[in-house]
Chains A and B, each alone.
Chain A
Amino acid sequence: MIPDFGLPPGFLMILGAGLIPFLPANLRHVWMLLAIACSATTLIAPSGEHLLWSVMGMELSLYHVDNLTFPFSLIFHIAAVLTVIYSWHVKSWAELTAVLSYAGAAIAAVHAGDLISLFIWWEATAITSVFIILAANTVSARHAAMRYLLVQVSSGVLLIGGAALYFHEHGRITFEAMTLGSMATWFIFIAFGIKAAFPFLNGWLQDAYPEASVTGTIALSAFTTKLAIYALARGFPGTELLIWIGAVMTAFPVFFAVIENDLRRVLSFSLNNQLGFMVVAVGIGTPLALNGAVAHAFVHIIYKSLLFMSVGTVMFHTGTAKASELGGLYKQMPFTMICCIIGAMSIAAFPLFSGFVAKSLTMTALGGTEFMLAYFVLLFASAGVLEHSGIKIPFFTFFAHPTDRKIGKTPTGMLIAMGAAAVMCIGIGVFPHLLYQILPYAKVKNPYDLSHVTGQLQLLLLAGLAFVVLMRTRLYPPEIRSTVLNTDWFYRRLAPSIIGAMVQVFMQCAKAIDDIIISIARAVMRGAKWVSEHPISGPVIPGPAALVQVIVLIVIMASIYANIK
């Protein structure tokens, strides 16, 4: 029998989150796992509409289930569990409440069958995730949270605007496959694009995620962007523009990641690059490609969480995630090092690791199409992934140079969560059918053939050799304490500078006009004084004298009035 709580999936988690502040600290995590388990029972619900609600002549679908919702809902529940276990040592009710409600909102959004419900949960993910960033409780986190909120709410406003226009055009609000063309679909497309971190809309990701706490970043890395991928897969499959947007997304972050010093920011650039692969797959739109997008999102949540957890554990002990200050921790943190390398090999798509079985679907789907350029951009980006996530992260964290840091005991929850994620990375890589059987569309064949395996190994090993050559010839750039400018520069520096300059010019103009008016008034006053000091006397006709006085008086009144204004 299917449990029926009469509530959409994820909603129970949001309700559960509301009770966290009132629970004793040692019961909070158990409670969170219980809430996730209750929500997870909805995973066995069959395809269809399970909760409809009529509001103002519109039928909201709050509990929609189909082949596409299932893998996203499943991985979101898994990610929530991993986050809770990893943060077992965290006592802050504020962060835990935000994490559980954020995960719940993302799961509820996946099951929204109409654009209005989607908007509600879309905004809910924005608001709840802001509190995760704020929970870091630093000044820069507070600033980043405000910028993040501004961007995320903009996405929501575009979505509701697009939904309203779509209802006006089509007379329905069903969240269905759309074609780009009208203002409605463009609004919705850009709303999704903001959360998917399209080029030039991506600054918020690298700005905000590294500002969250060690545990908060794990939650952030899992939900918002993959919710956007889900939304694109449902709303805009086969939109050719996405192929080119995705190709740019895969390529340009790799250059930023090379020179970025903050390893959590490197992982955020890497996240952007991985989203590019998924966006390309959605753009291709064939069943195989869409399977590739879903598979990539699924495995990416696990290995990206693992990488963030590894770097987070290092940061938990050392207080920093900066490559220039880390290194040599392989001896002090061997388990974390192994987990990090597993995550790195997964994201680099080594055979027998989860990234390989997912990425080969997208590459196969792209192969043989007319988009050869996009294919080679993705191949190029694959070498870039090896550089920033495959080598840079583990190398500069655990090797690079010796250290005499003393490392304390790592909380058990952190170790369990990393271990579980590492096992999943290898498990899916070795037994890809476990993943393939939950993919939404056509059956997928085994990716392990000689051509795929040797081709991928050639790419990766020669890229690895390039790293060795660059290191030995000292051409590999040293890590430097710095800030790398990203697209958030436009609203953090350029826009304030332009607005500041405009205000300054406006103030100067106002002052100049004021000065002119004052000088005219003074001249008039001087004239009036002169007239009063030189009274008209002698044999004159009274008429003209009175006229002069009246004119002077009018000018004085007018200038005073103008000055007051």
Chain B
Amino acid sequence: MMNDDINKKVEILTLERFGRAFTFVIVVGIIVLLVLEIFTHRHGEFAIEDMFFFPAIFGFVAFVFVVMFGTFLRRFIMRDEDYYTKREGGNDDT
């Protein structure tokens, strides 16, 4: 039992380490892209895309919007797990 608890804590710490590594890679990547943005000429398909760091800002805002609006939609389109099956029949029996 005690071993299980220790293993679980180790697992949690490992997952947190992965999370930090993921964040580190993302941040380093963004810094490199920022440097490239300053010192090179990037052009997009439309003029507005040529604005400084446009795709980056667009990506950040779009991602947050997708998650936030999706979460908001839960109020309208989320139902109990058995919403259909309680009328149509079970889903595991053969």
Contacts and interface: CB of A to CB of B under 8 A. Distances in A.
Contacts of A454: 33, 36-37, 40, 42
A255 B92 CA distance: 28
17 contacts: A139-B91, A143-B88, A259-B73, A328-B11, A328-B15, A382-B62, A383-B58, A401-B15, A451-B42, A455-B49, A458-B37, A461-B29, A465-B26, A468-B26, A482-B81, A483-B83, A484-B79
Interface of B: 4, 7-8, 11-12, 15, 18-19, 22-23, 26-27, 29-30, 33, 36-37, 40, 42-46, 49, 53-60, 62-71, 73-74, 76-85, 88-94
A139 B87 CA distance: 12
A138 B94 contact: yes
Contacts of A482: 74, 78-81
Given A375-B45, A484-B77, A477 B71 contact: yes
Contacts of A485: 76-79, 83
A10 B22 CA distance: 45
A408 B94 CA distance: 24
A-B pairs with the 3 shortest C-beta distances?
A367-B45, A258-B70, A402-B11
B55 A254 contact: no
* Size bracket, chain A contacts: 35 or more
B37 to A, nearest CB: 7
Interface string A482-500: 1111100000110000000
Contacts of B70: 254-259, 477
A486 B78 CA distance: 10
Given A138-B92, A138-B94, A475-B67, 19 more contacts: A138-B93, A139-B90, A143-B88, A255-B70, A256-B77, A259-B71, A367-B45, A375-B46, A376-B58, A380-B65, A383-B58, A400-B15, A401-B12, A402-B12, A450-B36, A455-B42, A461-B29, A468-B22, A485-B78
B36 A372 contact: no
Contact of A367 (B46, B60, B83): B46
Contact of B74 (A403, A463, A477): A477
Contacts of B82: 483
B42 A404 contact: no
A327 B7 CA distance: 15
A451 B43 contact: yes
Contacts of B40: 450, 454
Contacts of A384: 62-63, 66
A318 B14 CA distance: 22
Nearest to A372: B46
B63 A467 contact: yes
A413 to B, nearest CB: 24
A481 B85 CA distance: 14
A140 interface: yes
Contact of B27 (A455, A465, A466, A492): A465
Given A140-B85, A256-B77, A468-B22, A383 B59 contact: yes
A304 B36 CA distance: 32
A33 B65 CA distance: 46
A401 B12 CA distance: 7
Contacts of A456: 55
Contacts of B62: 379-380, 382-384, 463
A233 interface: no
A131 to B, nearest CB: 16
A183 interface: no
Contact of A259 (B7, B58, B78): B78
A458 B56 contact: yes
